[in-house]
């Protein structure tokens, strides 16, 4: 069926990036982020981030000292300046997190609009609100109606406008009894009539879960994020002890260090840059996945995608175009081609797949036109039997016709007492070596011949696999084809391996074997038979057009139902990990310059020889401390765009990526503060503020 794009209602904002403001600092994001900057100063909120909690305690302590000095008539400008700068550091960190959250909440508002105000018509003709539907309810949806809730089509076929979910205006086909039977609440039926069985309880629909995720309500820290938080907390605790010993040490050598200066030193020593940006990096990682129209059920799924070692990819629709068409009938010796065409057509009359329809089309093109007997019993294809066909009565006996995988048809012939001609394997090999898929046809116990189903490799897919190979990933093609066909297509596509004649059990077994060897595995799927493997895989990407079982089993859902999206998900995951690693490296590296600014300022009076460490030749001790604290505060908002957009990822080996990041963010993190602190020191001197 060819469906022409129809005019659909315009949707103002969708989850995907197509209709989203590109500017990170757009007013609709900045306003709520500014408000969040202050509301997140609540100590109960800041306490979840130990690094920034120490900064906030330091700010309150120095501001208290400033107030106490002012009350007694002593100078308080230095203490007030340090306290204000530390408070500003907290505000900048809160702003970064608030900005990331605001981008998600803007999407949530548009998603709510997609689910509200929909009425549902039950089978008995009554109407209820979509919010009152329960799992198991069946509703009728006709052309022009909005689908009231998540479900599966149990009757009919229709074209559906999913632009409110995917951002794509072109309609898609959804059909009962196929792997494309899943529908989402809030989408619109453009043609025909369908019966949908609701698969979610009130408040638990796909849109409800999406809203919770993009608002951050369901976001939990990922394992790597937790590990990094523990490291940052440990470093903070170490430096707290170090700074706590300095008063005794300075008193021993005759130097006097104020509490305000100690607080400033502590804040500059601890990794405040990554501490302030870490929450925003995690939220932005899920946001980037959403820009690609992928809903991650947790941040862990996005993160793990960056660490996967093996990608399991379906052949049809992923590596190949996915529109396999029957191109040739190859009868065995002694079998008229018309007999093979007739049997193949009969076995395909009730086959709803594109392959089945193409067999009927090819047979008709060759002049064969038969109809199924009224008493015919059709046998649907299953992954276990790898066959389909029909049985009917003719001249007082049962005629049984099947088409399917050559090995299964040969085994069936033997089971029925027939003889498998030697020429069958030659025909199968001929088709397989050409990269086509061979289907054998049998009538009763006699094998009639082979039908060739041809598909083509997607343009550019070989280059994508080469790109993944440079990233250190191994690709495995999964197909129901026989090994010869699989080998031919695998060689043409450039994958690293293949699993032929795969059953759901084979997929599950392969994933478990790889995981037992210490590998992280990603796969995609859309059918109910893919659900066990999707659940077992470390990253399971389910198609939005697929069955509800597949979507529940996976930890990601691709709204575009694009089987090649798995490759993009891996890149998003790697970008998240690289961004977090790069900014952590930068944060720790730029502390080095702060040491050269503050340490000489603390002890140069007692130890004049330490003046040699004042490589920046800063104006005074107070100017050095103020300059370091100002730089420490300003670097956080300066890095917000990088934290939200992510460090650009280019495929390459782990060693090469590490070397590049150490050069750019390690060496750069050391050098930039020297220049920045010196410039601030000069500015303070010009303004006579230190």
Asked whether the beta carbons of 289 and 423 are under 8 A apart, the reply is no
Residue 677: CB atoms within 10 Å: 27
Cite the active site residues: 314
- CB neighbour list of residue 390: distance below 8 Å, 6 or more residues apart: 346, 347, 349, 350, 372, 376, 377, 378, 379, 400, 401
Would you say 187 is a known binding-site residue? no
Report the alpha-carbon distance of residue 16 to residue 286 in Å, rounded: 12
Would you say 386 is a known binding-site residue? yes
The tokens describing 350, both together, are 């009730």
Query: 326-363 burial, b for 16+ CB within 10 Å, e for fewer?
Result: bebbbbbeebeeebbbbbbbbbbbbbeebbbbbbbebb
Asked whether the beta carbons of 664 and 579 are under 8 A apart, the reply is no
Would you say 138 is a known binding-site residue? no
Asked whether the beta carbons of 186 and 113 are under 8 A apart, the reply is no
Would you say 145 is a known binding-site residue? no
3-class DSSP state for residue 82? helix
Would you say 487 is a known binding-site residue? no
Would you say 42 is a known binding-site residue? no
Render 627-686 in DSSP notation, one character per residue.
HHHHHHHHHHHHHHHHHHH-PPP----HHHHHHHHIIIIIIHHHHHHHHHHHHHHHHHHH
List Cα–Cα distances, 373 to 48, 337, 370, 379, 659, in angstroms: 71, 21, 9, 14, 71
Would you say 526 is a known binding-site residue? yes
Would you say 381 is a known binding-site residue? yes
Asked whether the beta carbons of 145 and 188 are under 8 A apart, the reply is yes
Report the alpha-carbon distance of residue 104 to residue 209 in Å, rounded: 13
Residue 365: CB atoms within 10 Å: 10
Asked whether the beta carbons of 169 and 198 are under 8 A apart, the reply is no
Would you say 351 is a known binding-site residue? yes
The tokens describing 379, both together, are 């046998």
Q: Pairing mode, if any, of strands 127-129 and 119-122?
A: antiparallel
Asked whether the beta carbons of 344 and 338 are under 8 A apart, the reply is no
Asked whether the beta carbons of 591 and 274 are under 8 A apart, the reply is no
Please give the annotated binding residues, written as ranges: 351, 355, 381-388, 403, 526, 530
Please give the annotated binding residues for Mg(2+), written as ranges: 526, 530
Please give the annotated binding residues for ATP, written as ranges: 351, 355, 381-388, 403
């Amino acid at each position: 069926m060819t469906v022409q794009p129809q005019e659909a209602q315009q949707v103002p904002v969708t989850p995907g990036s197509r209709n989203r403001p590109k500017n990170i600092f757009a007013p609709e994001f900045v306003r709520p982020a500014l408000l969040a900057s202050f509301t997140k100063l609540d100590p109960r909120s800041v306490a979840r981030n130990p690094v920034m909690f120490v900064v906030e305690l330091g700010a309150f302590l120095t501001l208290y000292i400033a107030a106490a000095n002012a009350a007694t008539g002593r100078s308080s400008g230095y203490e007030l300046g340090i306290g204000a700068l530390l408070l500003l550091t907290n505000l900048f960190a809160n702003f970064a997190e608030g900005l990331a959250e605001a981008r998600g909440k803007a999407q949530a508002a548009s998603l709510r609009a997609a689910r509200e105000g929909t009425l549902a018509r039950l089978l008995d003709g009554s109407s209820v609100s979509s919010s009152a539907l329960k799992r198991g309810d069946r509703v009728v949806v006709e052309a022009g109606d909005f689908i009231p809730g998540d479900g599966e089509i149990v009757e009919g076929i229709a074209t559906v406008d999913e632009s409110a979910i995917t951002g794509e205006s072109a309609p898609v086909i959804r059909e009962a009894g196929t792997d494309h039977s899943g529908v989402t609440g809030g989408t619109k039926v453009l043609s025909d009539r369908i019966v949908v069985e609701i698969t979610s309880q009130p408040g638990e629909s796909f849109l409800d879960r999406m809203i919770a995720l993009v608002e951050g309500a369901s976001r939990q820290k990922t394992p790597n994020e937790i590990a990094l938080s523990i490291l940052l907390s440990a470093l903070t605790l170490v430096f707290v002890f170090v700074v706590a010993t300095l008063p005794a040490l300075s008193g021993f050598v005759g130097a006097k260090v104020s509490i305000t200066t100690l607080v400033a030193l502590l804040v500059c020593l601890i990794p405040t840059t990554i501490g302030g940006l870490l929450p925003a990096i995690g939220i932005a990682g899920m946001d980037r996945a959403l820009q690609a129209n992928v809903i991650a059920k947790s941040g862990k799924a996005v993160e793990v995608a960056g660490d996967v070692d093996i990608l399991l990819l379906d052949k049809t629709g992923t590596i190949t175009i996915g529109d396999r068409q029957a191109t040739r009938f190859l009868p065995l010796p002694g079998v008229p081609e018309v007999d093979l065409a007739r049997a193949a057509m009969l076995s395909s009359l009730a086959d709803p797949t594109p392959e089945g329809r193409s067999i009927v089309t090819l047979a008709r093109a060759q002049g064969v036109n038969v109809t199924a007997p009224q008493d015919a019993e059709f046998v649907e294809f299953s992954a276990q039997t790898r066959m389909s066909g029909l049985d009917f009565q003719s001249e007082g006996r049962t005629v049984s016709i099947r088409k399917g995988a050559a090995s299964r048809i040969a085994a069936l012939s033997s089971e029925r007492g027939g003889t498998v001609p030697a020429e069958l394997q030659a025909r199968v090999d001929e088709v397989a070596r050409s990269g086509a898929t061979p289907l054998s046809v049998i009538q009763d116990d006699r094998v009639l011949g082979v039908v060739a189903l041809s598909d083509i490799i997607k343009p550019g897919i070989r280059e994508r696999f080469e790109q993944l190979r440079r990233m250190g990933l191994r690709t495995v093609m999964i197909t129901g084809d026989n090994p010869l066909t699989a080998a031919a297509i695998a060689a043409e596509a450039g994958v690293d391996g293949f699993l032929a004649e795969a059953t759901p059990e084979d997929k599950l077994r392969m994933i478990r074997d790889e995981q037992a060897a210490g590998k992280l595995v990603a796969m995609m799927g859309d059918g109910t038979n893919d659900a066990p493997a999707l659940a077992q895989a470390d990253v399971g990407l389910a198609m939005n057009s697929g069955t509800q079982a597949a979507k529940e089993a996976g930890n990601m859902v691709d709204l575009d139902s694009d089987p090649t999206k798995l490759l993009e998900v891996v890149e998003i995951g790697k970008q998240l990990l690289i961004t977090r690693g790069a900014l952590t490296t930068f944060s720790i590296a730029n502390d080095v310059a702060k040491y050269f600014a503050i340490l000489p300022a603390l002890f140069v009076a007692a130890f004049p020889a330490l003046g040699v460490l004042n490589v920046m030749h800063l104006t005074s001790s107070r100017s050095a401390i103020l300059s370091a604290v100002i730089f420490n505060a300003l670097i956080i908002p300066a890095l917000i765009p990088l934290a939200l957009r992510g460090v650009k990822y280019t495929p390459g080996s782990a060693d090469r990526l590490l070397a590049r990041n150490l050069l750019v963010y390690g060496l750069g993190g050391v050098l930039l503060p020297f220049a920045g602190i010196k410039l601030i020191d000069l500015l303070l001197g010009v303004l006579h503020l230190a």
